[in-house]
Each structure stands twice: as structure tokens, then as C-alpha cells.
Amino acid sequence: MRRETIAATIQHWINSGSPRRGLAIHSQIIKTGELPNANISIKLLVLHLKCDSLAYARQVFDQMPPPLSLRTTTSSAALQLLRLFAISGERPDGFTLSMALKISSSSAAAAAAAANLCKEVHAQIFRSCGGGSLDEVLCTALIDSYAKNGSLGYARSVFRESSDQNVACCTAMISGYMRRGLLREAEEVFQSARERDAVAFNAMIEGYSCRPATASRSLEVFKDMQGVGHRPTVSTFVSLIGACSVLCALEFGRQVHARLVKTEILLHVRSGSALVDMYAKCGRTDYARRTFDDMPERNVFSWSSMIDGYGKNGMAEEALELFRKMEEEDDYVVPNEVTFLAVLSACGHAGLVGEGKDIMASMERDYSVKPKVEHYACMEMPCRPNSDVWAALLGVCRLHGEVELAAVAAKEVFELNRRERPGAYVALSNTFAAAGRWGASAK
């Protein structure tokens, strides 16, 4: 079988709903004793990852030539992948190049370094395509990678130069604009798109849902999505539930929950965790706990959301009890810094100093989680509080109506980091307004 045929067949099973059927191809390759080329190796690696066969994926990885297999950081992985092709004289296909772009955009390196990496991958794509137009996969991958790395200008250039601004490219551009808060630009791309599928609608709904000023618009887009006959996905429901959390729209949140139950979508860990968070923020910890208990699978965000919900609703004992249950019963989920912040905050609000100190000590000792300034903010701090700590105090003051203390916290925030904390003005204004001090709120 020709290498091009093998690569195409593996790609078929990667894209299919039954990737495990493609594993037989790897067995055939091993039997022949012929080493796979770079394109086939990358596809085999992805195939095993899609099948959750991590041991075999690692074997494929370890058998790759040194320029790729000896990489030490994700930030250099894409360049090493391209270097492998340059050395071997092979021409990478669109799938492999898009994989390199995904590696570059998921890099933990600084944004500038990641953007430069994306440009180098872009140059390789240009050479591979002979200067011609990009296909849909590469165009979408380039736009997405540039946008995630903060290079919206380059993303916009690729989008405008695309010969076929299809729905995938438009959606990547919409997500990029939304991620940077450029709502008007995202709306223009959405309105001008020749075709709008469920993913495009989801990009708009998600972008609107995370901002208090626009969260209600995500509900309007959802109605439009239903009007044109698109079925909601897990991502749709997660974004809608997030909007309800921002708006504290309990009744609409319950409607979304009911709609989710009626669909064929099971209580996914993402949607379940979002529901727990939404109900807790709306003050209904009973609904949150019922949803939490009904979840067939829970991740660290699920546990943390429920613990945080108890703490923020003044139920510190329940938060501690659930935290202990997480430690004792769930062997697959380990508390992270968010979990510890939730339980420490609960202890701080309830004055459980001893319990808080014990948990603080266990963070680094038992879980190798180094406490940050946010964790110390819940305790007696060994360091000078920064603007994050004062902002956290301001948020708690607003919640409990502590007007005078809120003014002190806001003053400290403004002195330490006025430009980076515009939300502090809003929080202080809302605190004054809730106390009926409208004159101070207007100032």
C-alpha cells in the first residue's frame, strides 16, 4: 500500500466516529517492518490519542526521529516538527501543518514568542502550498492560532485574503474577535457570513455570555439559532448556563436545564459543572447539590464549584464536609489551587481559623500546590497585600453590604493599580447603590 494511501486511510479513521477501527493499520505497518514517514507518524500519534491509547501513543512518539522526539518544550515542538520535514525532504500535508499550528497556539510561552512561532509555521505553509490559496483546514488553523496568540492583525489578513470565506474561517475569526472583546467586529463577520452553522452560533453565544453587559444577548442569539433549525450542542448549553450565572437568571437557567434533560445529551461534566456553578451563584445550593449528585462524572471544576457555592452562601461546614469527601472518595480528582481557594474562603467567612490553617498547611505538604497571594488573603498574610487581595476584599464587602470597609478597600486598589482595575469603580458604585447612597454611587 502506498504511503499516501496509508496516510489518507488513517486520516479517515481519525475523522470518523470509530477511530479504533483504524488501529489495525498500525499493526499492518509494524508487520511490514517499514518505518513510517513523518506524515504517517503524526497521524498514528493522533489516532492513538483519540482512542485514549496513551501507552501506544507514547511508543509512536518515542520512535520518531530525534528532531521531533527529543523536544523538551511545547513552544519548540512545532518548529521541530517542521525541521523534521526539512531534513527528510518530505512535504507536510495540510493535516500535519494544522497540527503544528495547534501546538504553537497551545504553547505556554510568552505571547510574542508564540506569535513568532505561528509566523514561521505560516511561512512553511506558504512554501508547501506554492504560494497558492490555502485550503479550509489550514486557513482556519492559521486564523485560530494568530487570534489565540494575540495577533489579530495577521488573523484578519489571512481571513481577508482567503478565496473562500467559508463558515469555518468565519467562526475562527468570530471567536478571535470575541476573545479580545471586539464585539462589533465579531458581529460584522457573523452578519456577513454566507452560511451560519451551529458552531458559528455557538461562537457568538459564548462570546456574549461571559460579559455582564452582553450576557442577555446570548439568549437572543440562541432564539435565532433555534429559529433556523440548528440543534443546540453541549457547548451551547454551557454558554447559556454561563450567561444565566452572570445575570443571576435562575428561572431561565432552570428552563435551560429542563431543555438539556429533554435532549439526548447526557449530563456532561461541562454542562453539569456549569449548572452547579449557576445554581450556587443564584443562591440555590439545594438545586446545585442535587445536580452535583446526579452527575455520572465529576472533574475538579465540579467539586470546586460546589465547595465554592457552599462557601459563598454561608455554608462553611457543608463546604468543609464536601472537601473532605473529595479527598477521601474521589481517587481520580486532586484538589487544585481553585479548590483550595474555595474552601479557604469558606473558612475565612465563617471564622474557622484552625480548619483554615490545617488546609493551608496541607496544600504544599500533601498536594504540592504552592499557596498564592489569593490564598493568603483568606488567612493572616505574611506579605504585603496587593491589588488582587484588596479587590477580593472589595467584592466580599459588596456582597455583605460593608460600605465603609468597601471604600477603604477600593481606595487601596486605586492607589496600587488604578489603570488595571476599572471594575473596582463598578463594584464600589454598586455597593453604595445597594446601601441607598445614590449620591456616592454616582460619583
Structure confidence by residue, pLDDT tens digits, 381-430: 556 667 777 777 777 777 767 778 788 888 887 777 666 556 666 777 77
- 139 is a domain residue: no
What pLDDT is recorded for position 441? 55
Phi and psi for 268 in degrees, rounded to 5? -65, 155
- 53 is a domain residue: yes
Q: Do residues 364 and 320 both lie within one domain?
A: yes
Average pLDDT, the chain: 80
- 367 is a domain residue: yes
Q: Do residues 314 and 364 both lie within one domain?
A: yes
Maximum mean pLDDT: which of 93-102, 279-288, 361-370, 413-422: 279-288
Least confident of 184-188, 297-301, 436-440: 436-440
Q: Do residues 32 and 52 both lie within one domain?
A: yes
Q: Do residues 306 and 322 both lie within one domain?
A: yes
pLDDT level of residue 263 (50, 70, 90 thresholds): confident
Residues 341, 343: Cα–Cα separation, whole Å: 6
221 vs 81, more confident? 221
Query: Which are the contacts of 110, defined by CB distance < 8 A and separation ≥ 6?
Result: none
Query: Which are the contacts of 97, defined by CB distance < 8 A and separation ≥ 6?
Result: 121, 124, 125, 128, 138, 141
Residue 36 has pLDDT above 90, yes or no: no
289 vs 65, more confident? 289
Residues 52, 70: Cα–Cα separation, whole Å: 22
Q: Do residues 377 and 396 both lie within one domain?
A: no
Residue that finishes a domain, picked among 64, 79, 97 = 64
Phi and psi for 64 in degrees, rounded to 5? -70, 155
The domain total for the chain is 3
**Nine cell digits for residue 90:** 518530505
* Cα four-point dihedral sign 109, 78, 146, 200: negative
Residues 104, 416: Cα–Cα separation, whole Å: 35
Residue that finishes a domain, picked among 64, 87, 106 = 64
The predicted model gives 290-304 an average pLDDT of 93
Residue 85 has pLDDT above 60, yes or no: no
pLDDT level of residue 218 (50, 70, 90 thresholds): very high
Residue 355 has pLDDT above 80, yes or no: yes
182 vs 331, more confident? 182
CA distances from 57 to 48, 50, 101, 125, 131 (A): 5, 10, 20, 26, 34
H-assigned helices in 250-386: 250-262, 269-281, 285-294, 300-312, 316-329, 337-350, 353-367, 373-376
- pTM of structure: 0.65
Q: Which residue is associated with the grid cell 521541530?
A: 80
Residues 222, 237: Cα–Cα separation, whole Å: 10
Q: Which residue is associated with the grid cell 474561517?
A: 169
Dihedral of the alpha carbons of 420, 426, 432, 435, in degrees to the nearest 10: -130
**Nine cell digits for residue 116:** 513568532
- 94 is a domain residue: no
Q: Do residues 419 and 390 both lie within one domain?
A: yes
What pLDDT is recorded for position 269? 86
Q: Which residue is associated with the grid cell 466516529?
A: 17
Q: Do residues 306 and 368 both lie within one domain?
A: yes
Residue 324 has pLDDT above 50, yes or no: yes
CA distances from 388 to 384, 406, 415 (A): 11, 14, 12
Residue that finishes a domain, picked among 24, 45, 64 = 64
- 166 is a domain residue: no
Least confident of 122-131, 258-267, 328-337: 122-131
- 49 is a domain residue: yes
**Nine cell digits for residue 111:** 505571547
Q: Which residue is associated with the grid cell 487601596?
A: 412
What pLDDT is recorded for position 72? 40
Q: Do residues 368 and 400 both lie within one domain?
A: no
- 36 is a domain residue: yes
Percent of the chain with pLDDT over 90: 34
pLDDT level of residue 435 (50, 70, 90 thresholds): low
Tally of CA atoms within 13 A in the half-sphere of 52 that contains its CB: 1
What pLDDT is recorded for position 151? 83
- 285 is a domain residue: no
CB 339 within 8 A of CB 309: no
Q: Do residues 366 and 425 both lie within one domain?
A: no
What pLDDT is recorded for position 168? 87
Domain region containing 371: 298-383
Q: Which of 379, 337, 322 is nearest to 392 (CA)?
A: 379
pLDDT level of residue 71 (50, 70, 90 thresholds): very low
First-residue to last-residue Cα distance in the chain:
76
Q: Do residues 394 and 431 both lie within one domain?
A: yes
3-class state of residue 197 by DSSP:
coil
Residue count (the chain) = 443
